[in-house]
Each structure stands twice: as C-alpha cells, then as structure tokens.
C-alpha cells in the first residue's frame, strides 16, 4: 500500500468518525429540547388544581359566574340621510346570579346605556370604552337601550336574556 492510500484512508476514517459524533450528539440535544417544556408554556387548562396557586383557583371560581361582553355604540345613516343609532350586539344571554360586565365602546355620536329593571345607567363618552357591571338577579328578557332622545325609537336597543 502506498503512503498516499494510507493518508486518504485515515482522512476518510476521521471524517466518518466526526460525522457520526456530530449526529450522535445532536440528536439527543434536539430530542431533549423538544421534550423540555418551560413553566411559561403550560397553560391553565394543562395545569392540575395541585399545580395552580390558591389565588389562581379563586380567580377561576370567580370568573365562572362572570359574563363579559363587548359592544360598540355608533350612528349609521339611512339612504335618506336620517341617523340610525345602533348597538353592534342585539342580544346578550346570561344565567340568573351571573355578574354581567358590558364594555361599551362609543365609535360615533352621543350615547348612554340603560337597563331599567337592574337600575343600570351609564353615560358612555365618545371615543372611550365604559365598563358596566351588575348582577343579573332576576330571570326574564330585559331591554337595554340608549336613552338619548330618539335613539331607542331609531333602533338602538337590544335584549338581555337571563335564564334560571
């Protein structure tokens, strides 16, 4: 065998050994990285009650009876140019005893928000979001509306449905 063949053989063996070492070391690291899950990646749904803090469990229990809604209050114009004030959501449904949170964002016009049977009335300034919160302590269907002159009659109302 010539010296040239021996050198080439040694180089080939070294390259093969290096390639094997690189792939052998890389696979376990990649597998470990895929299997590793940081605490930040665990969602509340994946956590058991044992893993949840007492504050998180209390917050979870409190949120079960809270119904959160968002709606826009605005003015559209009919083909004849007459204003048509509106709420973007026409029906809200909750259960009796729920805490109801309604976030009203006024996009245009002057509006307010009222539900007579629950004693709810809030002015809702243009360009702002107003949060209205109350307990739905009676079952039935209740009209929520804008109390500005002519707005309810023009269609700015919806129905809150409270079931037992």
Pair 143, 157: CB distance under 8 Å: yes
Pair 112, 144: CB distance under 8 Å: no
| Cα dihedral sign, 138-141-146-152 | negative
Say how far apart CA 51 and CA 56 lie, in whole Å.
10
Pair 146, 154: CB distance under 8 Å: no
Indicate the DSSP class of residue 138. S
From first to last of its 164 residues, the chain has per-residue pLDDT tens of: 688 888 888 898 888 887 777 776 654 444 444 444 444 444 444 445 455 565 555 555 455 789 999 999 999 999 999 999 999 999 999 999 999 999 999 999 999 999 999 999 999 999 999 999 999 999 999 999 999 999 999 999 999 999 99
* Confidence (pTM): 0.62
């Amino acid at each position: 065998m010539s010296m040239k063949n021996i050198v080439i053989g040694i180089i080939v063996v070294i390259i093969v050994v290096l390639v094997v070492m690189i792939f052998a070391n890389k696979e376990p690291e990649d597998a470990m990285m895929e299997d590793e899950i940081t605490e930040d990646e665990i969602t509340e749904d994946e956590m058991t009650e044992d893993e949840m803090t007492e504050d998180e469990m209390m917050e979870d229990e409190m949120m079960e009876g809270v119904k959160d809604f968002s709606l826009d209050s605005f003015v559209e114009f009919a083909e004849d140019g007459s204003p048509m004030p509106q709420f973007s959501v026409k029906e809200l449904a909750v259960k009796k005893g729920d805490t109801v949170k309604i976030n009203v964002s006024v996009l245009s016009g002057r509006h307010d928000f009222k539900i007579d049977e629950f004693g709810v009335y809030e002015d809702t300034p243009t360009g702002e979001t107003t949060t209205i919160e109350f307990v739905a302590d009676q079952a039935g269907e209740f009209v929520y509306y804008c109390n500005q002159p002519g707005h309810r009659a023009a269609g700015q109302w919806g129905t809150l449905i409270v079931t037992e």
